[in-house]
Chains A and B, each alone.
Chain A
Amino acid sequence: MRAMQQSETQGAAPAPLLDVRDLRVTFDTPHGLVRAVGGVSWTLSPGETLGIIGESGSGKSVGLEAIMGLIKTPPGHVSGQVMFDRRDVLTMPERDRRQLRGEKIAMIFQDAMSALNPSLTVGTQIAEVYRLRRKCSHADAERKAIELMDRVKIPSAKTRIGNYPHEFSGGMCQRVMIATALALNPQILIADEPTTALDVTVQRQIMTLLAELQREDGMALVLITHDLGLVAETVDRAMVMYAGRLVESAPVSALFEVPSHPYTRGLIRSMPRIDGASGKLHAIGGTPPAAGRMPKGCAFHPRCEMRVERCGIERPNLRPVGKNRAAACHLAEEIPHV
């Protein structure tokens, strides 16, 4: 994966597959207006693997759900632009948008067991949109379901097609989810923490499967995760979110070598090392701000070790810092040298 991406970025920038511009999501709650995503912009190239990391509540899921059109409005409100195939996804009629889902962009979720309908057989669920969109017969749909289950390596697909989700293990459910997402050969697959609910060996199997499928289909993958190790291994480019905003975006190798944002650095330092050399576990002190109560200036400044006076007054914008990377910190240029 990484090789492919590198060769592309060296040539002229390819037209992005997905272009997100100033995406904002707010919720009207009884406690007041909550801003979950506060203006993020990013692009995704064909075949690319993009990782999104950040603490719980930083707006990772909400941002991608907004792109998929899964935010209920009201209480939610979504603004900005999401260009796909030269059209703004956010303003297109609901019918076209639904056409896009599944057909062009698919999404899989953290807890596959609860993301599958408990009262429909897995076969029905896998082939459901295929049957609806392609208007094919039940027999064809069943054949397709078996084919997809084979693709995601569910053993004895023929006999298990009539089973219900609760008859599968967590890892198998996630495979079913993936098969569902692949039914219409989408160009983008969004995976929201696809392995968090699984145990380690199964996690690895699922990631291998995703990488394989991606290679075969040339699909772009957006991977949300808390697992920095996973990011380091599988992703081409990583984006770091904090309190609803992007704070850093960089090719993954560069990010891990020299983070340009104190928050990223904190995250990487808090990662348990396999080599065991570093000794102390370095967690970031404090908690992220509640979505309704943003501090003035840099949202991270109450927790930042580097902060200067300016940080509490003026909010840093995301700006380019070096090749292919950007960071939102007043001291971005200096961080790598501290």
Chain B
Amino acid sequence: MSAVQTNTVPQVEEHDRAASITGRAYLSALMRDRVAFIAAIFLTLLLIAAAGADFLAPYDPNRANLGARFIAPFGTARDGGFHLLGTDELGRDLFSRLMHGARVSMSIGLLGALCSGAVGITLGVLAGFYRGLLEDLLMRAVDGMMALPSLLIALFILFVIGPGFGNLILIFTLLHWMVFARMARSLTLNHQQHTYITAARAIGASDTRIILTHLLPNMVSPLIVLFTLEIAVLILSEASLSFLGFGVQAPQSSWGLMIARGREYISSAWWLVVMPGAAIFLTALALNLVAAWARAITDPVQRWRWLTPPRRKNQPIEDDE
């Protein structure tokens, strides 16, 4: 509509308020967005549970207890042990197994995103910074690889080189660096036009210095958003690969592998399938929610909305009779 005219109000307010944005403002903004807040708490608890599974898990995840097989959630075994999420075909406590599985799933997600991020960001920044042939080749490779079905290729490579934790990370690095490269390149191109880069050049800063101290710090927030999303993507991919038998191998266990195992008992012990899948779902959901929140809050156009106290609703117009 032609009606949206230059309204000077937002810019003025952005300036007034920029100074008052502190860490506490971020925290209170997070508290105000209830859904994102719950998601952040869930992720924190999950990380604690995964890291401290050895001490925190109520049972040994690998100790079979044939007297306590297939106990439904909230059930109690004959020996008096309470099982929050039930037990599996060997009488192992599902909740404890989920905590240990979380460690594998989360570390694959985190490590995979870190490695592919490192590769992608390095290539992307170099391409955006030096342009030329490097950029051309890289972007062509990115376009080409993104057009191919990555799950299929991951399966094939794992089929040849064998499954396992390390190989999974390798595959994820190989097949997921492109999104980071693409974003890092376009961010670099954007920032390079800013005067502070020219100014840094003018005072004789080296390329490395410009990249490390001027470019990268300014690219952190969008990259963190992408990183968060990629963790979710990788956790889902890991689950798929493990489900098909090409991911994590026993005795290690991840959520995807647990679903694959539970599938055999689908008609009698539904929780063996439902619970690990729910864990994946909730984790990915929480990551997506936190990423959406982080994106909104770091977006210069939207942030003032979040980082300032909510306005009074329908405040009256002063001079209306």
A residues sitting closer than 8 Å to B (CB atoms) are 26, 28, 30-33, 35-36, 38, 56-57, 61-62, 65, 70-72, 109-111, 192, 290-292, 294, 296, 315
Contact = CB atoms under 8 A, between A and B. Distances in A.
B2 A32 contact: no
24 contacts: A26-B317, A28-B314, A30-B305, A31-B9, A31-B10, A31-B13, A31-B311, A32-B315, A33-B315, A33-B316, A33-B317, A35-B317, A56-B5, A56-B6, A61-B3, A65-B3, A111-B2, A290-B8, A290-B9, A291-B7, A294-B318, A296-B318, A296-B319, A315-B319
Contacts of B305: 30
Contacts of A26: 317
B6 to A, nearest CB: 8
A292 B318 CA distance: 9
Interface in B240-256: none
A30 B311 contact: yes
Contacts of A56: 5-6
A71 B2 CA distance: 11
A329 to B, nearest CB: 17
B79 interface: no
B229 to A, nearest CB: 27
Contacts of A38: 320
A61 B2 contact: yes
B161 interface: no
Nearest to B8: A290
B1 interface: yes
Contacts of A32: 311-312, 315
Contacts of B1: 65, 70, 72
A26 B315 CA distance: 12
A36 B3 contact: yes
Nearest first, the 9 A-B pairs at minimum CB distance are A57-B5, A31-B9, A294-B319, A62-B3, A32-B315, A35-B317, A61-B2, A61-B3, A33-B317
Nearest to B302: A30
Contacts, number: 47
B9 A292 contact: yes
A192 B8 CA distance: 23
Given A31-B10, A57-B6, A192-B2, 19 more contacts: A28-B314, A31-B9, A32-B312, A32-B315, A33-B315, A33-B317, A36-B3, A56-B5, A61-B2, A62-B3, A65-B1, A70-B1, A71-B3, A110-B2, A111-B2, A290-B9, A294-B318, A294-B319, A296-B318
A57 B2 CA distance: 10
Interface in B294-320: 305, 311-312, 314-320
Interface in B2-20: 2-3, 5-10, 13
B237 to A, nearest CB: 38
Contacts of B2: 61, 109-111, 192
Contacts of B316: 33
Given A30-B311, A192-B2, A35 B7 contact: no
A290 B10 CA distance: 11
Highest count of chain A CB atoms <10 Å: which of B10, B13, B305, B320:
B320
Contacts of A61: 2-3
Most buried by B among A30, A290, A292: A30
Contacts of B5: 56-57
Contact of A290 (B7, B314, B317, B318): B7
A114 B168 CA distance: 51
A23 to B, nearest CB: 14
A65 B312 CA distance: 28
A39 B319 CA distance: 12
B304 to A, nearest CB: 9
A111 B2 CA distance: 9
A282 to B, nearest CB: 24
B4 to A, nearest CB: 10
Nearest to B311: A32
